[in-house]
Amino acid sequence: MTIQRIYIGGWFQRTTLHLTETWDFLKNAKSNLDFPKEKLDAARDSLDIISVSREAGPLEYLLAKTNKKISYRIYEDGLIVLEKEYVSLKEDFESIKDYYDNILSKALSLIFSKGAPVPKELANIKTILPYIVTVTDATKEEVENVFKNFSEDEYSVLATKNIEVHRSPGIILINNLRDENLTREIIESQIFFREFKSQLHRYLAIHRILWEKIREIKERGSIKGSDIDSLRNELSVYQKTINLIGARIDQMPTYVKTRQKITDVQKIDDYLQPLFQFKFETLLDTHEYIKQLWGMTKNYLTSAIEIFTDLQAKSTKNTISSLQLITTIGVVAGILGYLTKDSLPTFTPIGLVYFALLMAMTWIINGLVSKFYKNKKYDIENEDIKKDIQ
């Protein structure tokens, strides 16, 4: 068995505009945004780049080579593929993953740190990136030993045209794919499809979490006036997350269609579908399902916000009405008292004490009225959407 290269990669929505920003950073440690020069220099130096070039193709990409014997391509659609020539599988796995997670990702995060923030539900997610290993002339026993040495359980084997693809959760081993260009195309497609589906799965998981949180709020039955503001603010935070992720979901089909156009149809029929079961239509169907599900989540949240907005207005109106009544009674009582007098009042020490007591009583009454309506329970009129989707 001859081990050739190790690959890993990732994908997040990007455009040719982002590619230009990345090029400026990788080539000259520059950015048009207001980043401190020392931060840009430090991030660029950490990459340990020997050379970087901007290459043309069906999709434009940057090609960077490093002193760590790792090279990578960053495509204009946001796909990143790192590769390393084989030395020792264990050391290669550790070094390429460390470079991706702790060096390259951090450097790119710096130059893209301004703009719409990543929702907190996504910010701390660590992607488990399977290593893709290309080999030639591997026997069944040699392949089994590779997975065994890393405590990986192989769960599928696909074979076509003398090419074998062995899979486990952490390793994908491709045997006897000798065409370098085709190898690269298959690996890029594998990373793109896996990352695309992985993002959709995250959005599905976030939908379930947010739906449950909203449902718990809406199905309380009744709520104290003092809790209305805090719950309304909590729903507003969820609304921000839903809007941000919704925008990301809306962008995703464009990238599938672009990848579909630049992928050779004959190669799909001969290699990609049998090997990796890549089906663009299925991917788009899955995306459409998540998009519709996200729309329902957004509508569900909007209905909850409207309920609490109405409750907030009702609570405020009740408090103001009561205070107006107390004020009116006080004013009317004062006027009636003065109607029996035949001269204007004069200031006296006792009168000042009486005035102070009156103000104190007014403050206390206002406080009691306000507390009453804060502790008053309001019924949540909830015409809930049946939770029949998952």
Tokens of 273: 């579908």
* Residue 389: per-residue pLDDT: 37
Q: Do 78 and 60 contact (CB within 8 A), yes or no?
A: no
**Helix H segments across the chain?**
16-28, 37-46, 89-98, 105-111, 120-123, 140-149, 180-218, 225-262, 265-267, 273-276, 280-339, 349-375
Q: For every one of its 390 residues, what pLDDT tens digit does the chain have, with 9 covering 90 and above? A: 899 999 999 888 888 888 999 999 999 999 888 888 999 999 999 999 999 999 988 889 999 999 999 999 999 998 999 999 999 999 999 999 999 989 998 898 888 877 665 554 454 555 567 899 999 999 999 999 999 999 999 988 888 878 889 999 899 999 998 888 888 888 888 888 888 888 888 888 888 888 888 787 777 666 665 666 777 777 888 888 888 888 888 888 888 888 877 776 556 666 667 766 667 788 888 899 999 998 888 888 888 777 777 766 666 655 555 555 556 666 555 555 555 666 656 666 776 665 566 666 666 766 666 665 555 564 555 544 334 334
* Residue 47: per-residue pLDDT: 94
pTM of the model: 0.73
How far apart are the C-alpha atoms of 126 and 112, rounded to whole Å?
A: 18
Please name which of 322, 323, 192 lies closest in space to residue 258, comparing C-alpha atoms: 192
Please name which of 92, 89, 98 lies closest in space to residue 48, comparing C-alpha atoms: 98
